Amino acid sequence: MNKKVDLQDLGHKHFKETWDYQELLFQEIIDTKIKNRREGTHTETSNHFLFVEHPHVYTLGKSGDINNLLVDDKALEQKGATFYKINRGGDITYHGPGQVVGYPILDLDNFFTDIHKYLRFLEEMVIRTLAEYGLKGERSEGETGVWLDVGTPFARKICAMGVRASRWVTMHGFALNVNTDLGYFDLMIPCGIKDKAVTSLNVELGQKQVDVEEVKAKLLKHFQVLFEAELVREKTEV
């Protein structure tokens, strides 16, 4: 089993361009697995972890309700935002500047073949990161992602998650609000959940800006421990 994970920080990149790149990496792993099965070979499959920051964009999961986007195309254009219906699970979410988006593209045959466990590990990675900032991140029963003050009238989501998996290969991932303009969440019903608010790390800490690179480093530290992975930093960026 190959537990090496190639890490790339793509910087600021348009959602569609990144989605296409994810699909390329995802398909390469799938193709290797199919070839191994057909030909009886044992070629190692690769694993990837992409960090990226997107321009303003709304994405709707394959089972999502378009009515959870509360504005039309013209209003989106005025806000400098785009919209895509995509092939992950979950409902509608927002990505934008000041948000740490992570896309692990893993062959779970290299780790464990359990999607439920995979999602819980991604949540745990974020929960442990928030704990380093003195915040108690929690899971909300029946709702993927990471929340604060679950079970109170002040429950608020700080990290959204949505993944796709095929042949135990994953894509898409998580979006952690760090220095995010929360006003963009007013244009939708986040994840289709009407009765809970959204927050960001800088708001919770009472800071104008939180060091994004520090947040990424903490996330990766916990990712390595949870997945027993070895990170390999790619020298070239896409």
Residue for token pair 């002040």 = 154
Whole-angstrom distance, CA of residue 197 vs CA of residue 156 = 4
Q: In 3-state terms, what secondary structure has residue 109?
A: helix
Q: Given phi > 0 = left and psi -120 to 50 = alpha, else beta, which region is 192?
A: left
Is 159 in the active site?
no
Q: Which contiguous run of DSSP H or E holds residue 182?
A: none
Q: Do 191 and 177 contact (CB within 8 A), yes or no? A: no
Q: Given phi > 0 = left and psi -120 to 50 = alpha, else beta, which region is 87?
A: alpha
Q: Comparing C-alpha atoms, which of 174, 189, 182, 222 is closest to residue 204?
A: 182
Q: Comparing C-alpha atoms, which of 179, 160, 166 is closest to residue 68?
A: 160
**Dihedral angle, C-alpha 117, 222, 1, 32, nearest 10 °:** 80
Give me 219's structure tokens. 């996330």
Q: In 3-state terms, what secondary structure has residue 140?
A: strand
Q: Which residues are annotated as a binding site for substrate?
A: 88-95, 160-162, 173-175
Residue of 150, 191, 215, 229 marked active site: 191
CB atoms within 10 A of CB 220: 20
Active site residues: 191
